[in-house]
Protein backbone atom coordinates (compact mmCIF):
# COMPACT_ATOMS: atom_id res chain seq x y z
CA UNK A 1 0.00 0.00 0.00
CA UNK A 2 2.91 2.36 0.68
CA UNK A 3 3.87 2.33 -3.00
CA UNK A 4 0.39 3.19 -4.25
CA UNK A 5 0.65 6.99 -3.66
CA UNK A 6 3.98 7.02 -5.52
CA UNK A 7 2.43 5.17 -8.44
CA UNK A 8 -0.51 7.61 -8.52
CA UNK A 9 1.87 10.54 -8.40
CA UNK A 10 3.93 9.10 -11.26
CA UNK A 11 0.76 8.53 -13.28
CA UNK A 12 -0.44 12.09 -12.67
CA UNK A 13 2.96 13.50 -13.61
CA UNK A 14 2.78 11.56 -16.84
CA UNK A 15 -0.74 12.71 -17.69
CA UNK A 16 -0.48 16.23 -16.19
CA UNK A 17 3.22 17.19 -16.00
CA UNK A 18 3.93 19.91 -13.42
CA UNK A 19 4.56 23.37 -14.82
CA UNK A 20 6.41 26.39 -13.47
CA UNK A 21 3.99 28.63 -11.58
CA UNK A 22 5.40 31.68 -13.31
CA UNK A 23 6.34 30.90 -16.91
CA UNK A 24 4.39 27.66 -17.41
CA UNK A 25 7.40 25.66 -18.53
CA UNK A 26 7.33 21.92 -17.81
CA UNK A 27 9.30 21.03 -14.68
CA UNK A 28 11.74 18.22 -14.18
CA UNK A 29 13.47 17.03 -11.02
CA UNK A 30 12.61 17.69 -7.40
CA UNK A 31 11.27 21.23 -7.57
CA UNK A 32 7.58 21.15 -8.47
CA UNK A 33 6.96 24.88 -8.26
CA UNK A 34 9.42 27.08 -10.14
CA UNK A 35 11.80 26.43 -13.02
CA UNK A 36 15.52 27.16 -12.75
CA UNK A 37 15.30 30.25 -14.97
CA UNK A 38 12.57 31.85 -12.83
CA UNK A 39 14.48 31.02 -9.65
CA UNK A 40 17.57 32.72 -11.08
CA UNK A 41 15.53 35.86 -11.83
CA UNK A 42 14.66 36.32 -8.14
CA UNK A 43 16.70 39.02 -6.41
CA UNK A 44 17.33 38.32 -2.73
CA UNK A 45 18.04 40.99 -0.12
CA UNK A 46 21.82 40.92 0.44
CA UNK A 47 23.96 42.06 3.35
CA UNK A 48 24.79 44.61 4.58
CA UNK A 49 21.35 45.92 5.54
CA UNK A 50 20.18 48.62 7.92
CA UNK A 51 19.92 47.04 11.36
CA UNK A 52 16.54 48.70 11.88
CA UNK A 53 14.51 48.81 8.64
CA UNK A 54 16.38 46.09 6.72
CA UNK A 55 17.14 48.22 3.64
CA UNK A 56 20.30 47.30 1.73
CA UNK A 57 23.17 49.68 2.48
CA UNK A 58 26.70 49.98 1.18
CA UNK A 59 29.72 48.81 3.14
CA UNK A 60 31.03 45.58 4.61
CA UNK A 61 28.60 42.68 4.96
CA UNK A 62 29.12 42.27 8.73
CA UNK A 63 28.47 45.93 9.61
CA UNK A 64 25.38 46.71 11.67
CA UNK A 65 24.66 50.29 10.69
CA UNK A 66 21.63 52.49 10.32
CA UNK A 67 20.51 53.89 6.99
CA UNK A 68 20.02 57.62 6.56
CA UNK A 69 16.24 57.32 6.71
CA UNK A 70 16.28 55.55 10.10
CA UNK A 71 18.84 58.05 11.46
CA UNK A 72 16.57 60.95 10.48
CA UNK A 73 13.29 59.34 11.55
CA UNK A 74 13.71 56.23 13.76
CA UNK A 75 10.84 53.77 13.14
CA UNK A 76 8.71 52.57 16.08
CA UNK A 77 9.63 48.93 15.40
CA UNK A 78 12.90 47.40 16.62
CA UNK A 79 13.82 45.59 13.43
CA UNK A 80 12.42 44.77 10.01
CA UNK A 81 13.57 42.06 7.65
CA UNK A 82 12.57 41.07 4.12
CA UNK A 83 13.63 38.12 2.01
CA UNK A 84 13.56 39.36 -1.58
CA UNK A 85 13.15 42.48 -3.69
CA UNK A 86 9.58 43.07 -4.80
CA UNK A 87 9.77 42.82 -8.57
CA UNK A 88 8.91 40.45 -11.38
CA UNK A 89 8.51 37.54 -11.38
CA UNK A 90 7.78 37.17 -7.65
CA UNK A 91 5.26 40.01 -7.52
CA UNK A 92 3.00 37.83 -9.68
CA UNK A 93 2.91 35.11 -7.02
CA UNK A 94 2.10 37.53 -4.21
CA UNK A 95 -0.58 39.26 -6.26
CA UNK A 96 -2.26 35.94 -7.05
CA UNK A 97 -2.26 34.93 -3.38
CA UNK A 98 -3.29 38.29 -1.96
CA UNK A 99 -6.00 39.35 -4.41
CA UNK A 100 -7.21 36.07 -5.92
CA UNK A 101 -6.74 33.72 -2.97
CA UNK A 102 -4.68 31.43 -5.22
CA UNK A 103 -3.04 29.05 -2.73
CA UNK A 104 -1.37 27.08 -5.53
CA UNK A 105 1.45 29.64 -5.37
CA UNK A 106 2.39 28.65 -1.81
CA UNK A 107 4.89 25.91 -2.83
CA UNK A 108 6.65 28.49 -4.99
CA UNK A 109 6.86 31.00 -2.14
CA UNK A 110 8.10 28.24 0.17
CA UNK A 111 10.79 27.32 -2.36
CA UNK A 112 12.01 30.91 -2.45
CA UNK A 113 12.22 31.28 1.31
CA UNK A 114 13.62 27.86 2.24
CA UNK A 115 17.27 28.84 1.75
CA UNK A 116 17.03 32.06 3.77
CA UNK A 117 18.18 32.21 7.38
CA UNK A 118 15.35 33.81 9.31
CA UNK A 119 15.99 35.86 12.46
CA UNK A 120 15.42 34.34 15.87
CA UNK A 121 12.06 35.25 17.37
CA UNK A 122 11.51 34.86 21.14
CA UNK A 123 9.38 31.82 21.93
CA UNK A 124 7.10 34.01 24.01
CA UNK A 125 6.52 36.45 21.12
CA UNK A 126 3.03 36.96 19.73
CA UNK A 127 2.89 36.58 15.95
CA UNK A 128 0.37 38.80 14.19
CA UNK A 129 -0.33 38.44 10.49
CA UNK A 130 -1.15 41.46 8.38
CA UNK A 131 -2.92 42.22 6.01
CA UNK A 132 -6.06 40.77 7.55
CA UNK A 133 -7.79 40.22 4.19
CA UNK A 134 -6.08 36.81 3.96
CA UNK A 135 -8.33 34.10 5.40
CA UNK A 136 -7.57 31.59 8.16
CA UNK A 137 -5.37 33.81 10.28
CA UNK A 138 -5.82 35.44 13.67
CA UNK A 139 -7.27 38.91 13.34
CA UNK A 140 -8.44 39.70 16.85
CA UNK A 141 -5.24 41.43 18.03
CA UNK A 142 -4.92 44.04 15.30
CA UNK A 143 -7.88 45.27 13.30
CA UNK A 144 -8.34 47.69 10.45
CA UNK A 145 -11.17 50.04 11.39
CA UNK A 146 -11.34 51.87 8.10
CA UNK A 147 -10.08 51.36 4.55
CA UNK A 148 -7.99 54.39 3.61
CA UNK A 149 -7.42 55.36 -0.04
CA UNK A 150 -4.59 53.55 -1.85
CA UNK A 151 -1.08 54.61 -0.82
CA UNK A 152 0.53 54.28 -4.25
CA UNK A 153 0.40 57.89 -5.38
CA UNK A 154 1.14 59.45 -1.97
CA UNK A 155 4.43 60.76 -0.59
CA UNK A 156 5.76 59.93 2.87
CA UNK A 157 3.89 62.64 4.80
CA UNK A 158 0.62 61.95 2.98
CA UNK A 159 1.01 58.20 3.59
CA UNK A 160 1.33 58.74 7.34
CA UNK A 161 -1.73 61.01 7.42
CA UNK A 162 -3.66 58.54 5.29
CA UNK A 163 -3.11 55.69 7.75
CA UNK A 164 -3.51 57.66 10.96
CA UNK A 165 -5.96 55.85 13.28
CA UNK A 166 -6.67 53.21 10.62
CA UNK A 167 -5.88 50.34 13.04
CA UNK A 168 -6.95 49.42 16.55
CA UNK A 169 -6.10 46.80 19.16
CA UNK A 170 -9.11 45.48 21.11
CA UNK A 171 -9.06 46.35 24.78
CA UNK A 172 -7.19 43.51 26.50
CA UNK A 173 -3.93 42.94 28.36
CA UNK A 174 -2.60 40.17 26.15
CA UNK A 175 0.06 42.40 24.56
CA UNK A 176 1.34 44.04 27.72
CA UNK A 177 5.06 43.45 28.15
CA UNK A 178 5.21 41.03 25.20
CA UNK A 179 7.36 40.97 22.09
CA UNK A 180 5.35 41.04 18.86
CA UNK A 181 6.35 39.76 15.44
CA UNK A 182 4.30 41.53 12.79
CA UNK A 183 4.17 39.56 9.52
CA UNK A 184 3.30 41.32 6.25
CA UNK A 185 3.65 40.42 2.58
CA UNK A 186 5.45 43.51 1.22
CA UNK A 187 7.46 46.30 2.88
CA UNK A 188 6.90 49.35 0.69
CA UNK A 189 7.83 52.55 2.53
CA UNK A 190 7.31 51.16 6.02
CA UNK A 191 4.39 53.51 6.68
CA UNK A 192 1.82 50.74 7.22
CA UNK A 193 3.95 48.61 9.54
CA UNK A 194 5.02 51.74 11.41
CA UNK A 195 1.40 52.73 12.06
CA UNK A 196 0.60 49.15 13.16
CA UNK A 197 3.66 49.13 15.42
CA UNK A 198 2.62 52.40 17.10
CA UNK A 199 -0.85 50.97 17.75
CA UNK A 200 0.60 47.78 19.28
CA UNK A 201 3.12 49.70 21.41
CA UNK A 202 0.38 52.00 22.69
CA UNK A 203 -1.44 48.90 23.94
CA UNK A 204 1.53 47.73 25.96
CA UNK A 205 3.67 45.66 23.59
CA UNK A 206 7.32 45.79 24.61
CA UNK A 207 8.91 45.70 21.16
CA UNK A 208 7.95 45.01 17.55
CA UNK A 209 9.80 43.00 14.94
CA UNK A 210 8.59 43.05 11.34
CA UNK A 211 8.95 40.18 8.88
CA UNK A 212 7.97 40.65 5.25
CA UNK A 213 8.37 38.36 2.28
CA UNK A 214 9.38 41.11 -0.15
CA UNK A 215 10.60 44.68 -0.07
CA UNK A 216 10.08 47.46 -2.59
CA UNK A 217 13.44 48.96 -3.53
CA UNK A 218 13.49 52.73 -3.80
CA UNK A 219 14.69 53.95 -7.18
CA UNK A 220 18.03 55.71 -7.06
Highest mean pLDDT among 18-32, 74-88, 139-153: 74-88
**Distance between CA atoms of residues 31 and 49, nearest Å:** 30
Burial class (CB in 10 A: 0-12, 13-18, 19+), 55: buried
What value does the mean pLDDT take over residues 36-51? Answer: 91
Give residue 139's pLDDT. Answer: 57
Contact 155, 149 (CB under 8 A): no
What value does the mean pLDDT take over residues 80-94? Answer: 90
Q: Which long-range contacts (CB under 8 A, 24 or more apart) does 42-51 make?
A: 42/84, 42/89, 42/90, 42/112, 43/84, 43/85, 43/87, 44/83, 44/84, 44/85, 44/116, 45/81, 45/82, 45/83, 45/84, 45/85, 45/215, 49/81, 51/79
**Distance between CA atoms of residues 86 and 194, nearest Å:** 19
Residue 167: pLDDT band by 50, 70, 90 thresholds?
Answer: low
Amino acid sequence: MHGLPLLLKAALDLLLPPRCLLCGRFLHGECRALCSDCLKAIKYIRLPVCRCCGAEVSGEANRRQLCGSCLRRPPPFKRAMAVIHYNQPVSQLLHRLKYSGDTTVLPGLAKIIETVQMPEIPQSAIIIFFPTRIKDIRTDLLRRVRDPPPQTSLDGVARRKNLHSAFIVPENNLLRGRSVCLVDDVFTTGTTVAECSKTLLDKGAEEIQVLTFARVTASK
